[in-house]
């Protein structure tokens, strides 16, 4: 079984209501999984948060949210991997 992240994008984001310099949002991730030669596509929505400076641009915040979601997906892949 192989699991690959093929696309990632921020769906929505907003400033945290009580913590300045933190944003929360949802990141859409598309993964492909190959099982016994057949490819399956999975779309996930990952809730994410990111701390950033008050001067961070929208692009910086989006990147931080995507990186946070990518770490969550990496942990998921690690827990699903089987020893060879």
Cβ-count burial of 77 within 10 angstroms (0-12 exposed, 13-18 middle, 19+ buried)?
A: middle
The helix (run of H) or strand (run of E) holding residue 78 is helix 58-80
pLDDT band at residue 83 using 50, 70 and 90 as cut-offs: low
The predicted structure's pLDDT at residue 2: 76
- Tens digit of each residue's pLDDT (9 = 90 or more) over 13-72: 999 999 999 999 999 999 998 888 899 999 999 999 999 998 999 999 999 999 999 999
Ranges of each domain in the chain: 2-77
pLDDT band at residue 78 using 50, 70 and 90 as cut-offs: confident
For the entire predicted model, the pTM comes to 0.86
The predicted structure's pLDDT at residue 84: 52
């Amino acid at each position: 079984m192989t699991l690959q992240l093929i696309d990632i994008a921020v769906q929505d984001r907003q400033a945290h209501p009580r913590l300045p310099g933190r944003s929360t949002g949802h990141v859409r991730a598309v993964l492909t999984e190959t099982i016994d030669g057949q490819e399956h596509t999975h779309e996930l929505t990952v809730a994410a948060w990111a701390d950033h400076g008050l001067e961070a641009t929208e692009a910086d915040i989006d990147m931080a949210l995507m990186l946070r979601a990518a770490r969550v997906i990496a942990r998921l892949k690690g827990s699903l991997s089987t020893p060879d």
